[in-house]
């Protein structure tokens, strides 16, 4: 028998960095705070990014086949919070955020530690998130710093 509280407690102990995942569909752009991200291969360099299936960003990745991850620095909790809100409710989340587009055309946060851009090379549709496998096709460093972690925010996403 599954102990629901034990499951929730233990799954929330999995460490997660916080990123802004930039996506696009043609000229339209969006971004969301991602935490279910990890490296999956050295050769080729692969990233796993889990995206909620009922989101606009999921639809955009499905159409474009690309995404970018901007790595947030410890202390950028407000930036992460801004991108948690759904586009349907708040509109253009990049309106007052400095960004540029990279090789994929996806938005990259200028005030981040750096970024990777990915071309989707695989996916698994199970549960309420799609597990995208993205091959890293571009990357860059903006500055050195310590990455913002979910656990340091006091928030929970998981369990």
Within a 10 A sphere around the Cβ of 49, how many other Cβ atoms? 24
For 153, the token pair is 């925010």
The rounded distance, in Å, linking the Cα atoms of 31 and 27 is 13
Three-state SS for 9?
A: helix
Token duo for residue 86: 């759904």
Cα–Cα distance measured from residue 114 to residue 5, given in angstroms and rounded to the nearest whole number: 36
pLDDT digits (tens, 9 = 90+) for 78-110: 999 999 877 666 668 888 999 999 999 999 999
Of all residues in the chain, the percent with pLDDT exceeding 70 is 96
Q: What is the DSSP letter of 13?
A: T
Instruction: Tell me what pLDDT residue 89 has.
Output: 63
Chain position carrying tokens 């946060």: 109
pLDDT at 72 over 90: yes
More confident residue, 85 or 62: 62
pLDDT value at residue 159: 66
């Amino acid at each position: 028998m599954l102990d629901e509280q034990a499951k929730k407690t233990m799954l929330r102990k999995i460490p997660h960095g916080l990123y802004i995942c930039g996506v696009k569909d043609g000229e339209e752009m969006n971004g969301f705070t991602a935490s279910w991200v990890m490296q999956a291969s050295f050769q080729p360099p692969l990233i796993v990014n889990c995206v909620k299936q009922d989101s606009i960003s999921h639809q955009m990745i499905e159409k474009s086949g690309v995404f970018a991850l901007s790595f947030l620095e410890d202390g950028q909790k407000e930036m992460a919070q801004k991108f948690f809100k759904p586009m349907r409710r708040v509109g253009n989340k990049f309106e007052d955020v400095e960004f540029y587009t990279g090789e994929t055309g996806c938005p990259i946060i200028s005030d981040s530690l750096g970024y990777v851009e990915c071309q989707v090379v695989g996916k698994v549709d199970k549960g309420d998130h799609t597990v995208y496998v993205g091959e890293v096709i571009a990357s860059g460093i903006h500055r050195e710093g310590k990455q913002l972690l979910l656990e340091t925010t006091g928030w929970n996403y998981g369990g």
